[in-house]
Amino acid sequence: MTTLTCQLCSLPGGEIFWEDALCRVVLVQGEDGRAHPGTCRVIWRSHVAEMTDLNAADRQHLMEVVFATEATLRRVCRPHKINLASLGNLVPHLHWHVIPRFLDDPQFPAPIWVTALRAAPPSRLAPAASDLRQTISGLLSWLPESGP
């Protein structure tokens, strides 16, 4: 069910670099993407709010995509740590944040949503969507609903 007021139903949520019939993976272009290059969201296509709204097969599919996104960011960005979060308090549409963390990022070791402890390093660049696309496509090629 699509909700007209839901931004994740009506907008891509970032630059899509992988998708299939059930979900999409986007490179975040907003504020957290600038301060935390490589930040991605894995967004479930249908409008549901919680993981338990999905059947077991769909939950498994979504988590395989989340794990492949994490592995992709580890290979492409080489972060110190990856943070995974599924909050949905502001946008109650099922999605996972996959966030590469670096020792010198503005909030490390705290969550990215707290006040910055330091300025973002100017030299870190966001990964190219083409690099992400190639890596994640290889990791997810076995999924029955795998995307382009």
**66-99 per-position pLDDT tens digit:** 999 999 999 999 999 999 999 888 888 999 999 9
Which residue in the block uniquely carries the two structure tokens 């949520």? Answer: 13
Q: Are 33 and 14 in contact (CB under 8 A)?
A: yes
Tokens representing 56?
A: 């077991």
Domains present along the chain, CATH in parentheses? 7-140 (3.30.428.10)
Q: What is the mean pLDDT of the chain?
A: 87
pLDDT per position as a tens digit, 4-34: 589 899 889 888 989 999 999 999 866 555 6
**Residue 69's closest CA among 143, 125, 144, 5?**
143
For the entire predicted model, the pTM comes to: 0.87
Q: Among 18-22, 42-46, 136-140, which stretch is predicted with the lowest mean pLDDT?
A: 136-140
Q: Are 97 and 84 in contact (CB under 8 A)?
A: yes
- Return the pLDDT at 22: 96
